[in-house]
Structure 1
Amino acid sequence: MGGNLIAFDTVLELCGDEHRRIALATLANEQRSLTVNDLTKAIVKYNHHEPVTEMSEGNLSEIRLSLHHVHLPKIDAAGLVDHDQERGLVEPTERFEQVQPQISAIIDADPDLESPVEL
């Protein structure tokens, strides 16, 4: 295997958390840079099944913080996104495009996640 290829085990690990799966699914569906707020809204919609306007600010902050400090750094470390923390922007990389079929297959197999995951 070439040095630029991402191991399937890494893709499985990244998809092992529901919030990361939703973030990856949203990025895969949108095919563009998204904000941390966009990804937070997607997580609220698909994981918590309620409108953002009905969720408490504390729960929204918790989701945003987990994205900022846990989930996006893991996805960034794998080289799938560039996470600009100052601007709150998440941009898929070329490596993301390479593993998108694997990510899509895992997301499609998730019985709790309706596909496509849209903003």
Structure 2
Amino acid sequence: MEPHPSDSLSLDELFDLLSSQRRRHVLDFLSETSAPTTIDALADEVAVREANDQDEMSQESVSRIRTTLHHSHVPKLVDHGVLDHDELAESVVPGENIEDATRLLDAARANRTSVADSTRLQAGTN
């Protein structure tokens, strides 16, 4: 697949990219750093974030994460300009469209919180 042009991503593309929790973990981590990150280090970081959800992390799970990052998630994010991948250095950095994705992700999280708060208020469970 050809890399995405430098224009902004459509809403459908953004929602598709954000539909995977693993890609959301990647975006969270890479939006916190501007330094190049290897796929191995990214897999370790994603595994830690996923372990917080499941309370378990094994080398086998890190290996599975590394494989899905390498073959699925990173290429998809690169194709849409959210990440840049230097295959020779085996590293990734935020791409020019990362801000579009992180802004939508932040807005969705903020909205989810306000909807939950509103629901609790309506139910009288504040």
TM-score normalised according to structure 1 size: 0.73
| Alignment coverage as a number of residue pairs | 107
Structure of larger gyration radius: 2
- The Cα of 1:38 is off from its aligned counterpart by 2.5
User: Equivalent of 1:34, from 37, 52, 59?
Assistant: 37
Match in the other structure for 1:95? 97
RMSD: 2.6
Match in the other structure for 1:16? 19
Question: Does the aligned pair in 2 maintain the 1:21–1:107 contact within 8 Å?
Answer: no
Match in the other structure for 1:47? 50
- The Cα of 1:77 is off from its aligned counterpart by 0.7
- The Cα of 1:91 is off from its aligned counterpart by 1.2
> Can you give the 5+ residue segments of structure 1 that lack an aligned partner in the other structure?
112-119
Question: Does the aligned pair in 1 maintain the 2:78–2:84 contact within 8 Å?
Answer: yes
Question: Does the aligned pair in 2 maintain the 1:80–1:93 contact within 8 Å?
Answer: yes
CA distance in 1, matches of 2:93, 2:62: 21
Distance change >3 Å, CA 18–CA 101, structure 1 → 2: same
User: Equivalent of 2:10, from 7, 12, 18?
Assistant: 7
- The equivalences for 1:51-70 within 5 A come to 55-70=57-72
Match in the other structure for 2:118? none
- The Cα of 1:85 is off from its aligned counterpart by 2.9
> Can you give the 5+ residue segments of structure 2 that lack an aligned partner in the other structure?
1-5, 114-126
CA distance in 2, matches of 1:110, 1:38: 30
Structure 1 SS opposite 2:81: coil
CA distance in 1, matches of 2:75, 2:58: 25
Cα deviation digits, residues 16-65 of structure 1 (max 9, x gap): 11111100111112233222122212211111229xxx843322211101
Structure 2 SS opposite 1:74: helix
Q: Which moved more, 1:98-107 or 1:81-90?
A: 98-107
